[in-house]
Amino acid sequence: MARKQGKKYASAAQQIERRPYTLEEAVPLVQRLKFAKFDETVELHMRLGVDPKHADQMVRGTIVLPNGLGKSKKVLVIASGDKQKEAEEAGADFVGGEDMVAKIQQENWTDFDAVVATPDMMRSVGRLGKVLGPRGLMPNPKTGTVTVDVARAVKEVKAGKVEFRVDKTGSIHVPVGKASFAGDKLLENTQTLIQAILKAKPSAAKGKYVRSATVCSTMGPGVALDVTPFNAKAV
């Protein structure tokens, strides 16, 4: 469903020139054009030259943004024994074992932003696929959320760890911070994320890796980026 474009959106869009911007130009422009009354999230959207239907062209990874995301994520840890205490001491918001699995199953409870699980609990956590999967919350060894080192995993998520993954259209959509951030910190977060995505280029990907990229705030129009330097680094 297309977003209804009001006067404020139209006014902001008119201030964007019809040309690709450098990242250093785009980030402060997005911050200047924000108009919502709340602190908008700034997002990076990239369309990649990959076909995610092929396993060898999947682009996925995690990165801890140097300046966080502007809010502390609520973390659920599903573990057993001493690992529950480790999780609590590391700052997890919710900690439990089979009781948490049952709560999610029976109540469809998802009042959390990330889930960390120990390997021994994955047989039980696997039953939550229908609830957690569509929301992108299912723990996965590749993203470091299935681990025995629950304390480290919790701290990384709290510090601003984000996951990037291409969707079925070959696009990636990731938050990089808040519009209220200092410009240099928002720029550093965005640069760090882009570098991680470039580094994750699959060897099977042929041709231009980054087809297009935009930066925008939650409510604002997108600012198109010049992807030429990204493709030069991805070679």
**pLDDT of 234 strictly over 90:** no
Here the CATH number for the domain that contains residue 215 is 3.30.190.20
Maximum distance among all Cα pairs of the chain, rounded to whole angstroms: 58
* CA separation for the pair 81, 96 (Å, rounded): 9
Give the pLDDT band of residue 120 (cuts 50, 70, 90): very high
63 and 79: one domain?
no
Tell which of 158, 190, 207 closes a domain: 158
Instruction: Note whether 166 and 148 are same-domain residues.
Output: no
Query: DSSP per residue over 132-175, as a string?
Result: HGGGT----GGGT-B-S-HHHHHHHHHHTEEEEE--TTSEEEEE
224 inside domain: yes
Domain of 112, CATH number, reads 3.40.50.790
Q: What does the pLDDT look like over 54-87, one tens digit per residue?
A: 999 999 898 999 999 887 789 999 999 999 999 9
CA distances from 48 to 120, 165, 173, 186, 199 (A): 36, 11, 11, 22, 13
- Tokens at residue 215, please? 């930066």
Percent with pLDDT over 90 in the chain? 76
Average pLDDT over residues 83-111: 95
Quick one: 216 and 142 in the same domain? no
Question: Does the pLDDT value for residue 3 go beyond 70?
Answer: no
- 3-state DSSP call for residue 95? strand
Alpha carbon distance 12, 1 (integer Å):
21
Alpha helices by DSSP H, the chain: 7-14, 23-33, 82-90, 98-107, 122-125, 129-132, 150-159, 183-199, 228-234
Intra-chain end-to-end CA distance of the chain, in Å:
36
* pLDDT tens sequence across 22-47: 999 999 999 999 888 899 999 999 99
- Is this structure's pTM higher than 0.85? no
Distance of CA 221 to the CA centre of its chain: 19
Domain limits at 51? 7-68+161-234
pLDDT at 1: 36
150 lies in the same domain as 83 = yes
> How distant is the alpha carbon of residue 130 from its chain centre?
20
Evaluate whether residue 1 is within a structural domain.
Answer: no
Structure tokens at 5: 């474009």
The number of folded domains in the chain is 2
Helices and strands counted in the chain (H then E): 9, 9
Q: Which of the residue ranges 33-37, 123-127, 208-212 would you say has the lowest mean pLDDT?
A: 33-37
How buried is 86 (Cβ within 10 angstroms: 0-12 exposed, 13-18 middle, 19+ buried)? Answer: buried
Task: Give the pLDDT confidence score for residue 206 in this predicted structure.
Answer: 87
3-state secondary structure of 173: strand
Residue 5: what pLDDT?
A: 65
Within this chain, do residues 167 and 228 fall inside the same structural domain, yes or no? yes
Q: Is residue 104 part of a domain?
A: yes
Assess whether pLDDT exceeds 60 at residue 2.
no
Percent of the chain predicted with pLDDT > 70: 98
Average pLDDT on 175-189 reads 94
Answer whether residue 2 is part of any domain: no
